[in-house]
Structure 1
């Protein structure tokens, strides 16, 4: 089946649009052929090592989407629009941008032809000398990456586009000067549409009336494993029908585009209505796919005739060529029909559009419609044959159209509109970013938030402190109270960019003040609670509004949606120059429900905070099933787990400073784990003041040292260095504790001291910074230098006198300082300290599922209690003492 548009056919144009669709189809044919050449070169590079995995490139998937992309790139797309493509069609997307001259270098300058050609030859190639390359799927490093979404994870990018759309609505409703009205085009496969992330997000788009969102389902009735064979009787129709019903049920406009213009014209002829009925009602998707795959017009004629005797006369009057043009004229391969749907979508500003476009996987290839064609590659002879039909060169493929052709004349005009418009927009965004960075230099960022309530809260927990900070920033941004203190005045300069969101856990994660009368949204009806005097004055007012005083976005129990929204708002500075900082609260255990979305956010360097609270087995009585705490260690995110409330102040203040000043490269995001277990706050300063190193220092001087160490990942809360009878290698052990288990480590240290054992206690605030990837890059400097942890072997004489002979050397006692770590989470969070410095280390952690009970019961169950810590420390000291000290005879 070949359907390239020949140059010698009679050209047509639609007067309403002034477009020559024959020209557009020929440009599409060229773009698709360029994509095939890219893929061919990627799979036939010289010097390929034996055993290397296949390169691939998905030419058949590109084929089914080629006219959809053509309608977007050649007609519909405005400079400010966004695009999310299914991953497999990225080569074709690059090919269209090649023809549109829409490639830019790292400095943002438009590439010349020679550089564009290099990029096209470098699909899935590693750039060794800085030459332009394309990743396997869409990535920000691609030369044409302006406003499209990284697409390696199916089911996620369209949802991020959805929430970027919401971000624009939020920005405009809050008075930000964005002279843009973008449309968000998202192409996905029909099998991809079974991804739960997509269906979970659909009602949000409908409810929030995101009319600039267009989702296109490339309905080719195949997936990776072959033809999709569904029970249409059980579904009440085809999967396309089911998808459309789903869209309508969730507040979308659903459009099923099954037939192209050639079919529609045929349907108007005598007998044509019966052909339409047969195609729509008598042929299932499975049968349709079999007919497409057969590429046998005789068979197609016979099958259609058997379906209805009324069709016999109509079919008899059609030549094979005419029948083929009608049968293969699927709506998703008709640019004119697609453009009409997209233009109609713009007439509905309050309803998102869901388009199901019938297509053929492998369209125009020999393997079109074949069940196993997902990874099929056209042979070189097919490429050469195609190039001859198109008048191009297989040996030198990456060229523009000749300047005298109608295609090039169209592209010249389109480039001026689209590519030059994009360059103008990029300059505007860069100017907005530059203006912000100048503005933010005037902010003298405080190191904390001066939370007055902490002074009157002897026992507090980290989730409470989160609520205090969030509420204060909200008051400064949206409240009526004026900033009185210098601390408030500085935070007030940036507070309006701070926003909160939660998947139905806002009130249970101490975020109620940010919610109370400040939910962003429009319910489309009156506030009946207010009208009928039925407001619950003991709970936050959750009726949403669209005005500037709103700063919280409420979600149903849909963690994935909330995470995608956080990631989308967190990219707003990158996209627009507006430095939104979204902070979402979520029960820590349920981060796993949004793990794919979390990874996607971090992969594309989104700036946001995830407040995972409450977390771990410290949940105890409430959630035995919800207690497993995972060690994520994903790049571009710092995980924190503070113990004392003051630590959380320091952590958030520092991260907000980094965000607003853009000093957050490769650490744009934070995961902060909190608990609802209260801790005696005065113990922080009381313990610190007992250390020899702080003698003579003021409280503020001590706390400043601890703040700096907190922000590096850990600090010493108990440090016995300088105490009498303190002998490393003999009676000293290091305890590393994190979060809610710090009090247990303190009690264990006190217990051990009664036995003459000096147990230093180090509070780990961030395992990532102290022990993870961040620490790896600076060779664990803070652990080794800042905290002074080493693997030194200490030698002690049994008799305290000068060593004078060989026998006395051999009688020396040797030992190192062992380590015991204790944390509420899986072992990997802290279990590598000993291996880093070279000493014995036992990690007390959560190694099994939990139960309900008091925290004391549960800590004991998991051996995280003070008694278990002390016993383990004694055991480790004993093992360390048994280390054999061998002196090489040559040194005696």
Structure 2
């Protein structure tokens, strides 16, 4: 089709039987009409029947649900297999729940609880909905691309461990989702063209939230899919309309429909028969042929033909699904043309996205769909053909329970003596070599992922040991080059996955690698690395992966203005507080190698389990004298230090006298904090020094003490004993507000130092001095508090 193209689609009830003797189309049509009724009624009840004391609009999407009813009904009741997994577009969640209800997977009591507390979620949720949901969706574009990453994750886990064989990974997405950058970022990854198990079905209804889309340009978009290796299938005109095309004047009608703007086509859907006969021919070339063609077509048949989009033709849909299944060496995409609000009074209206049927319209719909408005949740009668199809479908889609597999036991430490000058990023690189030696079974479950920054984030040694994971072996043409530090050995047995420069792809894959414990019964320990300044870019898809149940570790390195020569574009400022505020995740910023080893092992031990959690590490390239950590040598003291480090921090230095000030530092800034304590001591001012490993955990402890949340608050007495309460100066290479809460621990005065502006190039000390986080600035802040 050309720019501004349009399609018209089929009336399922009028469609003649197709070449699928195994499918009873009348029964399937009755089922899709009941699905439409249930989905529409759930939204109607939530908005028109159920009491809403707050007065806030409940919402729901009757139009968006209606447009995809045919696709989902054909898919579930006549095509899916048990191993297949489906990501459902956010606004079609009522359709998914209606299908699950008919399959006996959802109790009727939930049908009146759409968007209520403890009821059905507004959008499909793996963790929060009471019925089976394969993928959480809601953040547009991210739910769709999750199928790509789940397919890759299944390939990886099945190749490294025994896992149940997977099926198709299917995305049902709205055409407006194709506007999202996440879609195209994922499609161009080089691994994607090999994923023959991936299938996307685009509900092409030519409308977004507030408008008729002026330029769908499906031909251009389809060509873009083909350009990155996908099979493209178009389900466009229904059989009734195709029949008109075969008559004299049919080619002119096709040209007319192809060339009309989307808005004009939507306008036709709102036309009376008289208006339709006037408007359909248009005024351009071929209009007389169209007039002659439709002159002897009955009004009802003409109206049905204009609506005859193949995305509502069950036979065409099933044929397209079969065509997609026939190609196994590359992914497929089906563009299924549909009508938004199909079969509803609001169909085709540009403002129908959030429109709700009136009670009168809803009751009238019951009559048209063969339902009962006085008994809206009634299932099909026992013994009916529809009930039998529902029973058989439920049996066909029944999955074996996911086998429970415990993640490997992670050791408490790796036995390394951290000495000399070293950065936490260097310690991170050494960690994996030590892990492979000390805990090989744990290392076997580790999979690392990077967006083209593996060597620059110190993963080179690990990559040389385990190799790159690739779907098929590849030759390393530089294997004999003695100047090559990283051996780029690619095979199906590698444990590092290197993506292109696309942080969204990395965290999308992390989320699915971190969900194999629940999907495949095989827990992985996924760790992703990226430059910390780009964590904010990747935060939404990573956060959404955690919401969906994925557990992983994200390492942002290097971080802060400590990466001084790189300039402001590579300086991360807000990431410490982002980590503190991220649900289902613990944020860490260790200063020393020993702290990193302890906390990273602890984080690995929290992955791949029902009560698990993700972690975010903020590391640095700044070498620090490891002697400053003053790691205890006495076993009991060492165990106590580790316990405190894992709880959020420890007292690094205790003044001989009662402190006049407490200096609190986190991360790479600890040398300046200790240097400031020395200066204060020389001036006769006693200062305790606290080293935080996780502001996140300390803040949680404070909330537990305040009775706001459950948890242990003992670490607060360790870090800030009541008998040594003093004004506090906090310092970190990040936004100062991150640690501002510490004043509430003992109700003391507090000064918060950090970085609150864009950086610039320079030496570390230049930038520390510029932002007021150097030794002198810390001393000045302390003096201001004690004077």
Distance, in Å, in 2 between the alignment partners of 1:303 and 1:583 is 58
Measured after TM superposition, the shift of residue 206 of structure 1 is 6.0
Q: Give unmatched runs, 5+ long, in structure 2.
A: 1-7
After superposition, residues 276-315 of structure 1 pair within 5 angstroms as 276-280=254-258, 282-294=259-271, 296=273, 298-300=275-277, 302-304=279-281, 306-307=283-284, 308=286, 309-315=288-294
Distance, in Å, in 1 between the alignment partners of 2:583 and 2:469 is 31
After superposition, residues 109-148 of structure 1 pair within 5 angstroms as 116-127=107-118, 133-141=119-127, 145-148=131-134
Residue from 206, 219, 237 that aligns with 1:259: 237
Measured after TM superposition, the shift of residue 208 of structure 1 is 4.7
Measured after TM superposition, the shift of residue 447 of structure 1 is 1.1
Structure 2 residue 739 is the aligned partner of structure 1 residue 761: no
Distance, in Å, in 2 between the alignment partners of 1:572 and 1:158 is 18
Contact 1:211 1:352 in 2 (8 A): yes
Measured after TM superposition, the shift of residue 585 of structure 1 is 0.4
Measured after TM superposition, the shift of residue 543 of structure 1 is 5.3
Distance of aligned partners of 1:259 and 1:123 in 2 relative to their CA distance in 1, 3 Å threshold: same
Structure 2 residue 316 is the aligned partner of structure 1 residue 337: yes
Residue from 503, 507, 531 that aligns with 1:559: 503
For 1:462-494, what per-residue CA distance to the aligned partner results, in whole angstroms no more than 9, with x for missing partners? 001111112444xx3xxxxxx5xxxx2xx2222
Distance, in Å, in 2 between the alignment partners of 1:854 and 1:301 is 75
Distance, in Å, in 1 between the alignment partners of 2:329 and 2:676 is 61
Residue from 437, 452, 469 that aligns with 1:520: 469
Aligned equivalent of 1:323: 302
Measured after TM superposition, the shift of residue 333 of structure 1 is 1.1
Distance, in Å, in 2 between the alignment partners of 1:24 and 1:779 is 53
Q: Give unmatched runs, 5+ long, in structure 1.
A: 104-115, 128-132, 231-237, 477-482, 690-697, 795-815, 879-892
Distance, in Å, in 2 between the alignment partners of 1:416 and 1:194 is 38
Distance, in Å, in 2 between the alignment partners of 1:311 and 1:46 is 49
Distance, in Å, in 2 between the alignment partners of 1:774 and 1:218 is 48
Distance, in Å, in 1 between the alignment partners of 2:38 and 2:769 is 65
Aligned equivalent of 2:754: 845
After superposition, residues 27-42 of structure 1 pair within 5 angstroms as 27-42=31-46
Aligned equivalent of 2:5: none
Structure 2 residue 553 is the aligned partner of structure 1 residue 614: no
Measured after TM superposition, the shift of residue 778 of structure 1 is 5.0
Residue from 198, 201, 207 that aligns with 1:213: 198
Measured after TM superposition, the shift of residue 551 of structure 1 is 0.4
Measured after TM superposition, the shift of residue 657 of structure 1 is 2.3
Distance, in Å, in 2 between the alignment partners of 1:824 and 1:90 is 43
CA RMSD of aligned residues (A): 2.5
Measured after TM superposition, the shift of residue 459 of structure 1 is 0.6
Contact 1:768 1:774 in 2 (8 A): no
Distance of aligned partners of 1:266 and 1:22 in 2 relative to their CA distance in 1, 3 Å threshold: farther
Aligned equivalent of 2:717: 785
Aligned equivalent of 1:498: 446
Deviates more, 1:746-755 or 1:406-415: 406-415
Contact 2:273 2:303 in 1 (8 A): no
Measured after TM superposition, the shift of residue 5 of structure 1 is 5.8
Contact 2:10 2:239 in 1 (8 A): no
Contact 2:87 2:147 in 1 (8 A): yes
Measured after TM superposition, the shift of residue 559 of structure 1 is 0.3
Residue from 638, 643, 651 that aligns with 1:703: 638
Distance, in Å, in 2 between the alignment partners of 1:300 and 1:673 is 66
Distance of aligned partners of 1:20 and 1:287 in 2 relative to their CA distance in 1, 3 Å threshold: same
Distance of aligned partners of 1:850 and 1:143 in 2 relative to their CA distance in 1, 3 Å threshold: closer
Residue from 637, 646, 658 that aligns with 1:727: 658
Measured after TM superposition, the shift of residue 400 of structure 1 is 1.0
Contact 1:305 1:315 in 2 (8 A): no
What SS does structure 1 have at the residue aligned with 2:570? coil
Aligned equivalent of 1:98: 101
Residue from 183, 186, 197 that aligns with 2:168: 183
Distance, in Å, in 2 between the alignment partners of 1:270 and 1:78 is 43
After superposition, residues 612-761 of structure 1 pair within 5 angstroms as 612-630=556-574, 631-632=577-578, 633-659=581-607, 662=609, 665=611, 668-685=613-630, 698-720=633-655, 723=656, 726-728=657-659, 732-761=660-689
Distance, in Å, in 2 between the alignment partners of 1:779 and 1:866 is 35
For 1:228-272, what per-residue CA distance to the aligned partner results, in whole angstroms no more than 9, with x for missing partners? 123xxxxxxx52122101111211112222112323344344443
What SS does structure 2 have at the residue aligned with 1:53? coil
TM-score by length of 1: 0.82
Distance, in Å, in 2 between the alignment partners of 1:399 and 1:502 is 51
Residue from 407, 410, 428 that aligns with 1:466: 428
What SS does structure 1 have at the residue aligned with 2:356? coil
Aligned equivalent of 2:57: 54
Measured after TM superposition, the shift of residue 300 of structure 1 is 4.7
Structure 2 residue 204 is the aligned partner of structure 1 residue 246: no
For 1:52-100, what per-residue CA distance to the aligned partner results, in whole angstroms no more than 9, with x for missing partners? 2101111011111111111211112212211111211101111111111
Contact 2:10 2:308 in 1 (8 A): no
Contact 1:240 1:256 in 2 (8 A): no
Distance, in Å, in 1 between the alignment partners of 2:295 and 2:443 is 73
Measured after TM superposition, the shift of residue 377 of structure 1 is 0.6
Measured after TM superposition, the shift of residue 141 of structure 1 is 4.4
Aligned equivalent of 1:152: 138
Contact 1:206 1:251 in 2 (8 A): no
Distance of aligned partners of 1:779 and 1:164 in 2 relative to their CA distance in 1, 3 Å threshold: closer
Residue from 38, 47, 56 that aligns with 1:43: 47
Measured after TM superposition, the shift of residue 629 of structure 1 is 2.7
Measured after TM superposition, the shift of residue 848 of structure 1 is 1.4
Contact 2:11 2:307 in 1 (8 A): no
Distance, in Å, in 2 between the alignment partners of 1:832 and 1:819 is 11
Distance, in Å, in 1 between the alignment partners of 2:686 and 2:212 is 69
Contact 1:68 1:338 in 2 (8 A): yes
Q: Which protein has the larger Cα radius of gyration, Structure 1 or Structure 2?
A: 1
Contact 1:830 1:843 in 2 (8 A): yes
Residue from 20, 31, 36 that aligns with 2:24: 20
For 1:130-163, what per-residue CA distance to the aligned partner results, in whole angstroms no more than 9, with x for missing partners? xxx2011111345554342111211101112110
Distance of aligned partners of 1:168 and 1:47 in 2 relative to their CA distance in 1, 3 Å threshold: closer
Contact 2:39 2:94 in 1 (8 A): yes
For 1:787-846, what per-residue CA distance to the aligned partner results, in whole angstroms no more than 9, with x for missing partners? 2444x7x9xxxxxxxxxxxxxxxxxxxxx6100010111123211101232110000111
For 1:25-73, what per-residue CA distance to the aligned partner results, in whole angstroms no more than 9, with x for missing partners? 2211111111111111101345432x52101111011111111111211
Structure 2 residue 504 is the aligned partner of structure 1 residue 542: no
Aligned equivalent of 1:69: 72
Distance, in Å, in 2 between the alignment partners of 1:606 and 1:270 is 58
Deviates more, 1:259-268 or 1:360-369: 259-268
Distance, in Å, in 2 between the alignment partners of 1:575 and 1:539 is 37
Measured after TM superposition, the shift of residue 2 of structure 1 is 12
Distance, in Å, in 2 between the alignment partners of 1:206 and 1:312 is 51
Q: Matched residue pairs, number?
A: 769
Contact 2:533 2:570 in 1 (8 A): yes
Structure 2 residue 415 is the aligned partner of structure 1 residue 450: yes
Distance, in Å, in 2 between the alignment partners of 1:626 and 1:683 is 28
What SS does structure 2 have at the residue aligned with 1:367? coil
